[in-house]
Amino acid sequence: MSFIHQDFMLQTETAKHLYHDFAKDMPIFDYHCHLSPQQIAEDYEFENVTELWLGGDHYKWRAMRAMGIEERKITGKASPEEKFEAWAYTCENAVGNPLFHWSALELKRYFHIDEILTSKNWKVIYDQCNAVIKEEKLTARTLIKNSNVTFICTTDNPTDDLVWHEKIAADKTFDVVVSPGFRPDEAFAIQDAPKFTTFLSKMKQVTGKSVDSFKDLVDGLEERIQYFADRGSNVSDHGLSEIHYVEASDQEVEDVFQKASKGEIVTKEDYAKFQTKLFVELGKIYHAKNFVMQLHFGAIRNNSTRIFEKIGPDAGVDSIQDQSNVSYVLNHLMDAMDKENKLPKFIMYPLDPTYFDLAGTAAANFQSAPGIRSKVQLGAGWWFNDTKYGMLKQLRSLSEAGLLMNFVGMLTDSRSFISYTRHEYFRRILCNFIGDLVEQGEIPQDDELLERLITNISYDNAVEYFDFQK
């Protein structure tokens, strides 16, 4: 029997039934990822499996460094063969890490290979994968279609022109919706003077208006949100290392803006006041325009100065951030918008899994929205939590603090066109989790109920929550 067999990770008869009869063939609604819209628009053709599989994949890079592999064979100028061989050596030693499962799933689903990648068979598998890429024309679009994807939301800067999204939308030969996702992280970057002042300059270019005050900044961002909306978007996302709630007067926030716009140093207290005000103001705009607001928080980035200076950001030297008063901040941020009944649909993703319980209970405080099921959501385990352990911990927290039946399910959060097996991985874990509860007598053996639960979480809830109309 191959390692990735039909009942992989399904440990009970009920789990097998739930997966094969309800989850397996559901489409994929990928409401947050980092795929390149240009590559989708141009239907990018990959040169080889190394480019497709290892390019930009900081998960794999971290593991390869742990095996003592020189950087030249990870992100450097080594040949594709050398890099793939180095990854094979790493992969066979990654037992227990989700990369071991993901890699086996990807080889099986996209390249029809049942073998586990090792130092002994790497060249045969390398050649097989490259042959499949050419013979089956595994382009960006083909990989998306083969994965049964109906919707993709990319991650885009407020100043992006979205020309590639326009090209995709105009192409009637490709029926997958690719929506831009509004990601205004640079608008919050007042502690990084070059980044923030450059962003203000770009905002002036794209809006044709000066950004001379905090109000100008908010007005400019609202204009760009509408620009995204006009191109089919109703999704935003925010990636913040720490989250804050510090009330401040309009004048205090304006004073902070003026310092930051001149490239002056701002204090931690200044930043907390600015972040709070901007986050709440954007939330109110999202509510008015029916955007979903997402918050990914808790990453401390670029921790290895040596690697960051050599390679740049997203190099695989990030980790989980910790902070105090997370519950206080989440509750007060949502309340600041909810007081005026202007809290948008809101999904929160703590990177620290110890915050799942407190985030879940915070979400439950703000669900009073007629006609919207679970308006505030504890999002899927992401980054360091898109593992069996992380997924199960998130599912347990959500099911105990909220309504699992309303969960919008999994997302890829990936730059890779073959990462859609993460949805399969999640669905298998979900079905095994629910199957265990059924067999233990904690959930009734009711097929109508179980089918609704599994199909809701796998796909249907996301379609409803994001108002998807193909």
Calculate mean pLDDT across residues 49-64: 94
Please report which confidence band the pLDDT of residue 314 belongs to, taking 50, 70 and 90 as the band edges: confident
Contacts 24+ apart (CB under 8 A), 355-358: 355/298, 355/326, 356/393, 356/394, 356/397, 356/398, 357/397, 357/400, 357/401, 358/326, 358/327, 358/330
Residue 7 has pLDDT above 80, yes or no: yes
DSSP-derived secondary structure for 110-122: HH---SPP-TTTH
Residue 470 has pLDDT above 70, yes or no: no
Reduced to 3 states (helix: H, G, I; strand: E, B; else coil), residue 16 is helix
Residue 1 has pLDDT above 80, yes or no: no
Cβ–Cβ < 8 Å for 41, 167: yes
Please report which confidence band the pLDDT of residue 222 belongs to, taking 50, 70 and 90 as the band edges: very high
* Residue range 45-135 in CATH 1.10.2020.10: yes
The helix/strand count (H/E) of the chain reads as 20, 9
Reduced to 3 states (helix: H, G, I; strand: E, B; else coil), residue 377 is strand
The DSSP bridge partners found for residue 423 are none
Q: Which helix (H) or strand (E) holds 151?
A: strand 149-153
d(CA 362, CA 346): 12
d(CA 210, CA 200): 8
The share of the chain scoring above pLDDT 70, in percent, equals 100
Reduced to 3 states (helix: H, G, I; strand: E, B; else coil), residue 125 is helix
pLDDT digits (tens, 9 = 90+) for 182-214: 999 999 999 999 999 999 999 999 999 999 999
* Residue range 148-465 in CATH 3.20.20.140: yes
Nearest to 237 by CA among 301, 167, 286: 286
Cβ–Cβ < 8 Å for 207, 263: no
Cβ–Cβ < 8 Å for 386, 413: yes
Reduced to 3 states (helix: H, G, I; strand: E, B; else coil), residue 147 is coil
Question: Where in the chain are the domains?
Answer: 45-135, 148-465
Rg (CA), the chain: 23
- Tell me the two tokens of residue 222: 């609202």
- Tell me the two tokens of residue 124: 């045969």
The residue whose two tokens read 């390679």 is: 311
What letter would DSSP give residue 380? P
What dihedral do alpha carbons 311, 415, 52, 42 form, nearest 10°?
-110
383 sits in the region (left: phi over 0; alpha: psi -120 to 50; else beta) called: left
pLDDT at 469: 77
Amino acid, res. 261: S
pLDDT digits (tens, 9 = 90+) for 79-105: 999 999 999 999 999 999 999 999 999
d(CA 217, CA 235): 20
Cβ–Cβ < 8 Å for 50, 172: no
The residue whose two tokens read 């045969």 is: 124
pLDDT digits (tens, 9 = 90+) for 351-403: 999 999 999 999 999 998 999 999 999 999 999 999 999 999 999 999 999 99
